[in-house]
Amino acid sequence: MVKKARTGRLWAVVVLVCIVPLLTGCMEALQTGQHVNVSPPSVGPSPTLVATALRPTIGQMSPALPGSLASDFATVVPTQEPTQALTPTSIASTSTATTHVEPLPPLALFTPTPFTNEGRWRGQQIGRHAFETLRHYSTASSELWWYDPINQQSVILGRITGEFSAQAEFTLRGQGVPALEVPYQVNLSYGLTALSPALFDRIMAAGYSEWIETYVFSTPGVNRR
């Protein structure tokens, strides 16, 4: 046992003696700036270069084939079509084309000619037929009417009997009854010589003074002479 212990210690001393010079040399090399021998780089390409060479660009990308390593088109950034810049001239022409409106022709409104009092009276006559000369009629009893153009209503002047003269025939608008147009001299003809002051004032307001156009209805009691 004593012999084995001595032998172990002897080997330990030998190892220390061998290691110490090696460690001392390394320290001196580091302190004096001498480069430690490094194994030369490998001849083959680095993994980074290989990966870079194998990664295709977007422009060189080919459609994905079954089992290939091509990128999915869904992850590729789409290219945009170049847009044409709008110049001030094009903007002005566009705005002019969109805002230009053809002028409308002038609107001509129909302006009816204002009726005179005589025109209002003629407007009440449908199918008026004027006689070439006065025609004479007789009646046992007929009402003599006058159309007031100012108030636009017919008023009765009185009743006449015997003979009277007519200058036209027509159909009265609104009633559809045939009638004869009778010239009447105010407060003188056919025995009607006492018109009321109210009627006389209305005749004067319509612009008449001596003669007015009145009418009688063509009834079976009116006969031509």
Structure tokens at 82: 């170049």
Mean residue pLDDT of the chain comes to: 75
**Cα distance between residue 152 and residue 204, in whole Å:** 15
The model's pLDDT over 114-143, given as tens digits with 9 standing for 90+, comes to 679 999 999 999 999 999 999 999 999 999
Q: What pLDDT sits at residue 51?
A: 45
**104-121, pLDDT tens digit by residue?**
777 766 666 667 999 999
CA-based diameter of the chain, in Å? Answer: 191
* Burial letters 70-104, b for 16+ CB under 10 A, else e: eeeeeeeeeeeeeeeeeeeeeeeeeeeeeeeeeee
- The residue behind tokens 């009765």 is 156
pLDDT band per the 50, 70, 90 thresholds, residue 69: very low
Q: Please list, in sequence order, all residues whose beta carbon lies within 8 angstroms of the beta carbon of residue 72, skipping any fewer than 6 positions away.
A: 64
- In this structure, what token pair is assigned to residue 21? 């010079």
Short-list 51, 181, 81, CA closest to 121: 181
Q: Could you tell me the residue ranges of all domains in the chain? A: 118-224
Confidence of residue 5 (pLDDT cuts 50, 70, 90): low
pLDDT confidence of residue 148? 97
